[in-house]
Amino acid sequence: MLTTDLAPGVPCWIDLGAPDIKAAASFYGSVLGWEFEPMGGDMEGGVLRKDGKTVAGLGQLTEEGARSAWMIYYCVTDADATMQAVQRAGGTVRTKPRDLGEWGKMAQLTDPQGGQFAVWQPGQNTGFELVGAPGALTWTELYTTDAAAAKEFYGSVFGWQYSDMEMPGGEGTYTIITPAGLPEERMQGGLMQLRPADLVLTNGRPYWHPVFDVPDCDAAIAKVTEGGGRVQMGPADMEGVGRLAVCLDPSQADFVLLAPAES
């Protein structure tokens, strides 16, 4: 499960690049109960909070031709060393490590198959204040075109541990991700292999997406459609996991809603 205890390779932040910040804040406020706090001044965007605790960031989509999407940041002790590890493993650097002073340092990277992610070297800002609770991130997931290559790459960069499980109905293998050196109870996400033709949002390129905890999946889905989003898949009940649905916001950024099964 995700926690706010920092460790190398653990998700520590997410943010959304949106073409319309106010519209995105309103949509996710309705679906997940988030409150938007603008940065103010000349800064565009701001932070999203649930019950007063920071859960995500929201900024203006500025990259020409880019789709609106959630970016997942993983905690590292040295952003420059991680950039070099990514390059040695065949990945690429989209944004070199950027020093944000006392707050920390960040870099944006891409795996060899094209999956985009980011890293955060914490300073005073350690990231999330709430995870694994209703209205917050509870899981991260990679859809990739080559699971074996993805496991090798991220294993070399972050030292992640893996365990495979067969999907119901013979739908393939799902790989559980656990941070280096931590027990399986600290599992944080998963990855699965799909055909390029199934990755329609990115024209066949792998991508990461967030999974958000909700108390009632169907009620949250109703808010998605009321707000102009749509459901890509589900809702569906998965034994031992819960009831989930893959959704798109009005700008086509993808995310998953999960009402966890009772333990």
Per-residue confidence (pLDDT) for residue 235, from 0 to 100? 95
Q: Is 28 helix (H, G, I), strand (E, B) or coil?
A: helix
CATH number of the CATH domain containing 198 = 3.10.180.10
Q: Which residues pair with 213 in a beta bridge?
A: 258
Average pLDDT over residues 225-245: 93
Q: How many CB atoms lie within 10 A of CB 7?
A: 15
Which of these, 212, 198, 202, 222, lies nearest to 258 by C-alpha position? 212
Judge whether residue 40 has pLDDT over 80.
no
pLDDT digits (tens, 9 = 90+) for 155-213: 999 999 999 988 776 678 999 999 999 998 999 999 999 999 999 999 999 999 999 99
Task: Decide: 34 and 24 in contact? Cβ < 8 Å.
Answer: no
Find the domain containing 144 and state its range: 1-263
pLDDT of residue 35: 97
**What is the rounded average pLDDT of the residues 34-58?**
88
Mean pLDDT of 246-250: 97
Strands (DSSP E) contained in the chain are: 11-18, 35-38, 46-50, 53-60, 69-75, 92-99, 104-110, 116-122, 137-144, 161-166, 173-178, 189-193, 207-213, 230-238, 242-248, 254-260
Q: What is the pLDDT of residues 52-107, one digit of tens each?
A: 999 999 999 877 777 899 999 999 999 999 999 999 999 999 999 998 888 889 99
Number of independent structural domains in the chain:
1
pLDDT score of 245 more than 60? yes
The dihedral of CA 183, 178, 10, 106: what is its sign?
A: positive
| CB-based contact 30:223 (threshold 8 Å) | yes
